Amino acid sequence: MSKKMLKMVTKKFKAHLIDSHNQHGDETVIITPEALRNLTTALRDEPDFACEILADITVVDYLGHKTPRFEVVYHFLSLKHRHRLRVKVPLTEEACAVDSVADIYPSANWAEREAFDMYGVVFKAHPDLRRILMYEEFQGHPLRKDYPLMGSQPRIPLLEPERPDTPVYPPNFGDYGPAKENV
Report the alpha-carbon distance of residue 94 to residue 90 in Å, rounded.
12
pLDDT single digits (tens) 81-116 = 999 999 999 999 999 999 999 999 999 999 999 999
Q: Is residue 51 part of a domain?
A: yes
User: What is the number of domains present in the chain?
Assistant: 1
**For residue 166, what pLDDT is reported?**
63
pLDDT single digits (tens) 130-171 = 999 998 889 999 999 999 988 788 877 776 766 766 665 555
Pairing of β 97-99 and β 122-124? parallel
Residue 58, domain CATH: 3.30.460.80
User: Structural domain of residue 84, as residue ranges?
Assistant: 2-124
Q: Is residue 171 part of a domain?
A: no
Q: Is residue 30 part of a domain?
A: yes
Q: Is residue 177 part of a domain?
A: no
Report the alpha-carbon distance of residue 116 to residue 80 in Å, rounded.
31
pLDDT single digits (tens) 13-56 = 999 999 999 988 789 999 999 999 999 999 999 999 999 999 99
Q: Is residue 178 part of a domain?
A: no
**For residue 29, what pLDDT is reported?**
96
